[in-house]
Amino acid sequence: MGTGLANADDSLPSSNYAPPAGGTFFLLADSSFSSSEEAKVRLEAPGRDYRRYQMEEYGGVDVRLYRIPDPMAFLRQQKNLHRIVVQPQYLGDGLNNTLTWLWDNWYGKSRRVMQRTFSSQSRQNVTQALPELHLGNAIIKPSRYVQNNQFSPLKKYPLVEQFRYPLWQAKPVEPQQGVKLEGASSNFISPQPGNIYIPLGQQEPGLYLVEAMVGGYRATTVVFVSDTVALSKVSGNELLVWTAGKKQGEAKPGSEILWTDGLGVMTRGVTDDSGTLQLQHISPERSYILGKDAEGGVFCLRELLLRK
Protein backbone atom coordinates (compact mmCIF):
# COMPACT_ATOMS: atom_id res chain seq x y z
CA MET A 1 0.00 0.00 0.00
CA GLY A 2 1.19 3.52 -0.77
CA THR A 3 0.39 6.76 0.91
CA GLY A 4 -0.99 8.60 -2.12
CA LEU A 5 -0.25 12.01 -0.63
CA ALA A 6 -0.16 13.70 -4.01
CA ASN A 7 -3.79 12.77 -4.71
CA ALA A 8 -5.34 13.32 -1.27
CA ASP A 9 -5.52 17.07 -0.75
CA ASP A 10 -5.79 18.01 2.93
CA SER A 11 -7.54 21.31 2.24
CA LEU A 12 -11.18 21.72 3.26
CA PRO A 13 -13.42 24.74 2.63
CA SER A 14 -13.82 27.36 5.34
CA SER A 15 -17.29 28.09 6.64
CA ASN A 16 -17.65 31.56 5.03
CA TYR A 17 -20.69 31.89 7.26
CA ALA A 18 -22.15 35.02 8.79
CA PRO A 19 -25.64 35.39 10.26
CA PRO A 20 -27.94 37.34 7.91
CA ALA A 21 -28.04 40.95 9.01
CA GLY A 22 -31.63 41.67 8.00
CA GLY A 23 -32.79 45.28 7.89
CA THR A 24 -35.16 47.84 9.36
CA PHE A 25 -38.90 47.62 8.74
CA PHE A 26 -42.20 48.89 10.14
CA LEU A 27 -45.05 46.81 11.57
CA LEU A 28 -48.52 48.19 12.24
CA ALA A 29 -52.21 47.32 12.36
CA ASP A 30 -54.37 49.48 10.10
CA SER A 31 -57.60 48.74 12.00
CA SER A 32 -59.28 46.63 14.64
CA PHE A 33 -61.14 43.42 13.76
CA SER A 34 -64.20 41.45 14.79
CA SER A 35 -64.02 37.76 15.65
CA SER A 36 -65.54 36.88 12.26
CA GLU A 37 -62.92 38.84 10.29
CA GLU A 38 -59.43 37.75 9.32
CA ALA A 39 -57.00 39.75 11.42
CA LYS A 40 -53.92 41.07 9.65
CA VAL A 41 -50.99 43.43 10.12
CA ARG A 42 -49.10 45.50 7.58
CA LEU A 43 -45.34 45.29 7.18
CA GLU A 44 -43.36 47.95 5.33
CA ALA A 45 -39.81 47.05 4.29
CA PRO A 46 -37.47 48.88 1.87
CA GLY A 47 -38.20 47.28 -1.49
CA ARG A 48 -36.04 49.26 -3.89
CA ASP A 49 -32.50 49.94 -2.68
CA TYR A 50 -29.60 47.85 -1.38
CA ARG A 51 -31.36 47.30 1.97
CA ARG A 52 -33.73 44.90 0.24
CA TYR A 53 -30.86 42.57 -0.66
CA GLN A 54 -29.73 42.52 2.97
CA MET A 55 -33.19 41.31 3.96
CA GLU A 56 -33.74 38.87 1.10
CA GLU A 57 -30.94 36.65 2.38
CA TYR A 58 -33.06 35.78 5.42
CA GLY A 59 -35.78 34.27 3.24
CA GLY A 60 -38.85 35.93 4.76
CA VAL A 61 -40.12 37.33 8.03
CA ASP A 62 -40.67 35.32 11.22
CA VAL A 63 -44.01 36.13 12.84
CA ARG A 64 -45.25 35.24 16.31
CA LEU A 65 -48.76 35.92 17.58
CA TYR A 66 -49.35 36.11 21.35
CA ARG A 67 -52.53 36.54 23.33
CA ILE A 68 -52.23 39.09 26.15
CA PRO A 69 -53.90 37.68 29.31
CA ASP A 70 -54.51 41.05 31.03
CA PRO A 71 -55.04 43.53 28.18
CA MET A 72 -56.02 46.55 30.28
CA ALA A 73 -52.93 46.30 32.49
CA PHE A 74 -50.76 45.87 29.40
CA LEU A 75 -52.21 48.95 27.70
CA ARG A 76 -51.85 51.07 30.84
CA GLN A 77 -48.11 50.33 30.86
CA GLN A 78 -47.60 51.63 27.32
CA LYS A 79 -46.63 55.29 27.04
CA ASN A 80 -47.40 55.44 23.31
CA LEU A 81 -49.94 53.04 21.78
CA HIS A 82 -48.53 53.80 18.34
CA ARG A 83 -45.16 52.39 19.41
CA ILE A 84 -45.60 49.29 21.55
CA VAL A 85 -42.58 48.52 23.74
CA VAL A 86 -41.98 44.90 24.79
CA GLN A 87 -38.48 43.81 25.71
CA PRO A 88 -37.17 41.04 23.41
CA GLN A 89 -35.72 37.67 24.39
CA TYR A 90 -32.53 37.85 22.33
CA LEU A 91 -31.08 34.44 21.58
CA GLY A 92 -28.49 35.06 18.88
CA ASP A 93 -27.66 32.69 16.06
CA GLY A 94 -27.24 29.69 18.36
CA LEU A 95 -24.98 26.66 17.91
CA ASN A 96 -26.88 24.83 15.19
CA ASN A 97 -24.87 26.18 12.24
CA THR A 98 -21.60 25.95 14.19
CA LEU A 99 -22.20 22.27 14.93
CA THR A 100 -23.15 21.68 11.28
CA TRP A 101 -19.82 23.07 10.10
CA LEU A 102 -17.83 21.22 12.77
CA TRP A 103 -19.46 17.92 11.85
CA ASP A 104 -18.84 18.42 8.14
CA ASN A 105 -15.26 19.50 8.83
CA TRP A 106 -14.50 16.55 11.10
CA TYR A 107 -16.10 14.14 8.65
CA GLY A 108 -14.05 15.57 5.79
CA LYS A 109 -10.81 15.27 7.75
CA SER A 110 -11.58 11.68 8.71
CA ARG A 111 -12.10 10.84 5.04
CA ARG A 112 -8.75 12.46 4.23
CA VAL A 113 -7.08 10.20 6.79
CA MET A 114 -8.62 7.15 5.14
CA GLN A 115 -7.49 8.37 1.72
CA ARG A 116 -3.91 8.67 2.91
CA THR A 117 -4.03 5.09 4.16
CA PHE A 118 -4.45 3.66 0.66
CA SER A 119 -2.77 4.47 -2.61
CA SER A 120 -4.58 6.28 -5.37
CA GLN A 121 -4.66 3.13 -7.51
CA SER A 122 -6.14 1.09 -4.66
CA ARG A 123 -8.92 3.62 -4.13
CA GLN A 124 -9.71 3.68 -7.85
CA ASN A 125 -9.95 -0.12 -7.94
CA VAL A 126 -12.34 -0.11 -4.98
CA THR A 127 -14.63 2.59 -6.38
CA GLN A 128 -14.74 0.84 -9.75
CA ALA A 129 -15.90 -2.33 -8.04
CA LEU A 130 -18.25 -0.47 -5.64
CA PRO A 131 -19.34 2.82 -7.27
CA GLU A 132 -21.48 3.72 -4.24
CA LEU A 133 -18.26 4.35 -2.28
CA HIS A 134 -17.15 7.11 -4.66
CA LEU A 135 -17.50 10.45 -2.87
CA GLY A 136 -16.54 12.81 -5.66
CA ASN A 137 -16.63 16.38 -4.34
CA ALA A 138 -18.98 15.59 -1.47
CA ILE A 139 -16.51 16.35 1.31
CA ILE A 140 -15.51 19.74 -0.10
CA LYS A 141 -19.03 21.00 -0.66
CA PRO A 142 -19.92 23.93 1.61
CA SER A 143 -22.10 23.17 4.61
CA ARG A 144 -25.81 23.88 4.38
CA TYR A 145 -26.82 26.46 6.94
CA VAL A 146 -30.23 27.26 8.37
CA GLN A 147 -31.39 30.85 8.89
CA ASN A 148 -32.28 30.66 12.58
CA ASN A 149 -34.56 33.05 14.40
CA GLN A 150 -32.34 35.14 16.67
CA PHE A 151 -35.10 35.83 19.20
CA SER A 152 -36.68 33.23 21.47
CA PRO A 153 -40.45 33.33 22.16
CA LEU A 154 -41.63 35.70 24.88
CA LYS A 155 -42.30 33.74 28.07
CA LYS A 156 -44.72 36.25 29.54
CA TYR A 157 -47.48 35.82 26.96
CA PRO A 158 -49.18 32.65 25.65
CA LEU A 159 -48.04 31.87 22.10
CA VAL A 160 -50.98 31.38 19.72
CA GLU A 161 -49.00 30.58 16.57
CA GLN A 162 -45.72 31.26 14.80
CA PHE A 163 -44.68 30.99 11.16
CA ARG A 164 -42.32 32.37 8.52
CA TYR A 165 -44.04 34.50 5.89
CA PRO A 166 -42.59 34.98 2.36
CA LEU A 167 -41.95 38.70 2.49
CA TRP A 168 -40.73 39.26 -1.07
CA GLN A 169 -43.03 36.74 -2.76
CA ALA A 170 -46.20 38.12 -1.15
CA LYS A 171 -48.54 40.38 -3.10
CA PRO A 172 -47.88 44.06 -2.29
CA VAL A 173 -50.63 46.23 -0.84
CA GLU A 174 -52.63 47.85 -3.63
CA PRO A 175 -54.59 51.12 -3.46
CA GLN A 176 -58.35 50.79 -3.30
CA GLN A 177 -60.18 50.67 -6.59
CA GLY A 178 -61.06 54.09 -7.87
CA VAL A 179 -58.22 55.84 -6.03
CA LYS A 180 -56.52 58.02 -8.61
CA LEU A 181 -54.81 61.38 -8.25
CA GLU A 182 -55.04 63.44 -11.40
CA GLY A 183 -51.75 65.05 -12.36
CA ALA A 184 -49.64 62.95 -9.96
CA SER A 185 -46.37 62.16 -11.71
CA SER A 186 -44.53 60.35 -8.90
CA ASN A 187 -46.88 57.32 -9.00
CA PHE A 188 -46.43 57.10 -5.23
CA ILE A 189 -49.62 55.10 -4.69
CA SER A 190 -48.53 52.24 -6.95
CA PRO A 191 -47.87 48.85 -5.27
CA GLN A 192 -44.36 48.62 -3.81
CA PRO A 193 -42.45 45.39 -3.04
CA GLY A 194 -42.06 44.86 0.67
CA ASN A 195 -45.30 46.67 1.59
CA ILE A 196 -47.54 43.71 2.41
CA TYR A 197 -50.34 42.43 4.62
CA ILE A 198 -49.61 39.41 6.81
CA PRO A 199 -52.77 37.38 7.55
CA LEU A 200 -53.26 36.14 11.11
CA GLY A 201 -56.55 34.28 10.69
CA GLN A 202 -59.76 34.69 12.68
CA GLN A 203 -59.11 35.19 16.38
CA GLU A 204 -61.26 35.17 19.50
CA PRO A 205 -62.06 38.54 21.08
CA GLY A 206 -59.07 39.91 22.97
CA LEU A 207 -55.81 41.80 22.63
CA TYR A 208 -52.94 40.24 20.69
CA LEU A 209 -49.26 41.06 20.43
CA VAL A 210 -47.57 40.53 17.06
CA GLU A 211 -43.79 40.11 16.96
CA ALA A 212 -42.01 40.18 13.57
CA MET A 213 -38.30 39.42 13.08
CA VAL A 214 -35.88 39.58 10.15
CA GLY A 215 -32.31 38.67 11.08
CA GLY A 216 -31.25 40.83 14.02
CA TYR A 217 -34.14 43.29 13.57
CA ARG A 218 -37.48 43.11 15.35
CA ALA A 219 -40.75 45.05 15.53
CA THR A 220 -43.95 44.67 17.55
CA THR A 221 -47.53 45.90 17.38
CA VAL A 222 -50.89 45.02 18.91
CA VAL A 223 -54.10 43.82 17.27
CA PHE A 224 -57.50 44.60 18.78
CA VAL A 225 -60.22 41.98 18.26
CA SER A 226 -63.71 42.84 19.49
CA ASP A 227 -67.34 42.46 18.46
CA THR A 228 -68.08 45.77 20.21
CA VAL A 229 -67.71 49.26 18.81
CA ALA A 230 -67.46 52.37 21.00
CA LEU A 231 -68.65 55.87 20.13
CA SER A 232 -67.58 58.82 22.24
CA LYS A 233 -68.04 62.54 22.72
CA VAL A 234 -65.71 64.66 24.82
CA SER A 235 -66.11 68.15 26.25
CA GLY A 236 -63.99 70.30 28.52
CA ASN A 237 -64.60 68.22 31.64
CA GLU A 238 -66.74 65.27 30.60
CA LEU A 239 -66.63 62.15 28.43
CA LEU A 240 -69.62 60.20 27.11
CA VAL A 241 -69.08 56.67 25.79
CA TRP A 242 -71.66 54.40 24.14
CA THR A 243 -70.84 50.76 23.37
CA ALA A 244 -72.79 48.70 20.83
CA GLY A 245 -72.46 45.46 18.90
CA LYS A 246 -70.66 45.75 15.57
CA LYS A 247 -73.15 43.57 13.67
CA GLN A 248 -76.60 44.29 15.15
CA GLY A 249 -76.00 47.60 16.92
CA GLU A 250 -77.39 46.33 20.22
CA ALA A 251 -76.30 47.96 23.48
CA LYS A 252 -73.28 46.38 25.17
CA PRO A 253 -73.62 46.75 28.94
CA GLY A 254 -70.86 45.76 31.34
CA SER A 255 -67.97 47.10 29.25
CA GLU A 256 -65.00 48.28 31.32
CA ILE A 257 -63.82 51.75 30.22
CA LEU A 258 -60.56 53.50 31.11
CA TRP A 259 -59.93 57.14 30.21
CA THR A 260 -56.20 57.82 30.08
CA ASP A 261 -53.89 60.60 28.94
CA GLY A 262 -51.03 58.18 28.17
CA LEU A 263 -49.34 58.85 31.52
CA GLY A 264 -51.97 57.37 33.80
CA VAL A 265 -55.64 56.54 34.15
CA MET A 266 -57.66 59.71 34.80
CA THR A 267 -60.91 57.89 35.60
CA ARG A 268 -62.75 54.67 34.82
CA GLY A 269 -66.18 53.09 34.83
CA VAL A 270 -68.52 50.41 33.45
CA THR A 271 -71.26 50.93 30.87
CA ASP A 272 -74.85 50.60 32.12
CA ASP A 273 -77.75 48.60 30.67
CA SER A 274 -78.08 51.07 27.80
CA GLY A 275 -74.38 50.67 26.96
CA THR A 276 -73.52 54.24 27.99
CA LEU A 277 -71.11 55.71 30.52
CA GLN A 278 -70.44 59.30 31.61
CA LEU A 279 -67.05 60.15 33.11
CA GLN A 280 -66.13 63.43 34.79
CA HIS A 281 -62.59 64.81 34.45
CA ILE A 282 -60.80 67.80 32.97
CA SER A 283 -60.12 66.80 29.37
CA PRO A 284 -56.54 66.96 28.06
CA GLU A 285 -55.91 67.84 24.44
CA ARG A 286 -55.08 64.21 23.66
CA SER A 287 -56.45 61.19 25.45
CA TYR A 288 -57.29 57.53 24.90
CA ILE A 289 -60.34 55.44 25.69
CA LEU A 290 -59.47 51.83 26.48
CA GLY A 291 -62.31 49.34 26.65
CA LYS A 292 -62.96 45.67 27.35
CA ASP A 293 -66.42 44.19 26.80
CA ALA A 294 -68.06 41.31 28.64
CA GLU A 295 -66.90 38.79 26.00
CA GLY A 296 -63.25 39.78 26.41
CA GLY A 297 -63.05 41.94 23.30
CA VAL A 298 -60.69 44.92 23.54
CA PHE A 299 -61.04 48.26 21.76
CA CYS A 300 -59.33 51.64 21.80
CA LEU A 301 -60.28 55.17 20.76
CA ARG A 302 -58.18 58.31 20.54
CA GLU A 303 -59.75 61.62 21.55
CA LEU A 304 -58.64 65.09 20.44
CA LEU A 305 -60.08 68.11 22.20
CA LEU A 306 -59.98 71.28 20.12
CA ARG A 307 -59.73 74.36 22.30
CA LYS A 308 -60.50 77.88 21.16
Domain chopping of the chain, boundaries: 26-91+150-182+192-225, 96-140, 228-304
Beta partners for residue 243, in sequence order: 230
Helix (H/G/I), strand (E/B), else coil: 87: coil
pLDDT of residue 182: 67
In the chain, the amino acid numbered 65 is L
Q: How far apart are CA 15 and CA 5, in angstroms?
A: 25
φ and ψ at residue 204, rounded to 5 degrees: -70, 155
* pLDDT for res 179: 65
Confidence (pLDDT) at 307: 57
Per-residue pLDDT of the chain (308 residues; tens, 9 = 90+): 344 443 445 566 677 777 777 788 999 999 999 999 999 999 998 766 656 767 777 778 999 999 999 999 999 988 888 889 999 988 877 777 778 878 877 777 777 777 777 777 777 777 788 776 666 666 667 777 777 788 999 999 999 999 999 988 888 887 777 666 666 555 556 777 778 999 999 999 999 999 999 988 999 999 999 999 999 998 888 999 999 999 999 999 999 999 998 888 899 999 999 999 999 998 888 889 999 999 999 999 887 765 55
**Phi and psi (nearest 5°) for 300?**
-145, 140
Cβ neighbourhood burial of 297 (10 Å; 0-12, 13-18, 19+):
buried
Residue 253 has a pLDDT of 94
pTM of the model: 0.80
Rg (CA), the chain: 29
Q: What is residue 1's predicted lDDT score, i.e. its pLDDT? A: 38
CATH class of domain segment(s) 228-304: mainly beta
Q: Which residues contact 15 (CB under 8 A, 6 or more apart)?
A: 101, 142, 143
Task: Give the residue among 265, 234, 269, 240 at the shortest CA–CA distance from 255.
Answer: 269
Structure confidence at residue 236 (pLDDT): 82
Question: Tell me, what's the pLDDT at 3?
Answer: 41
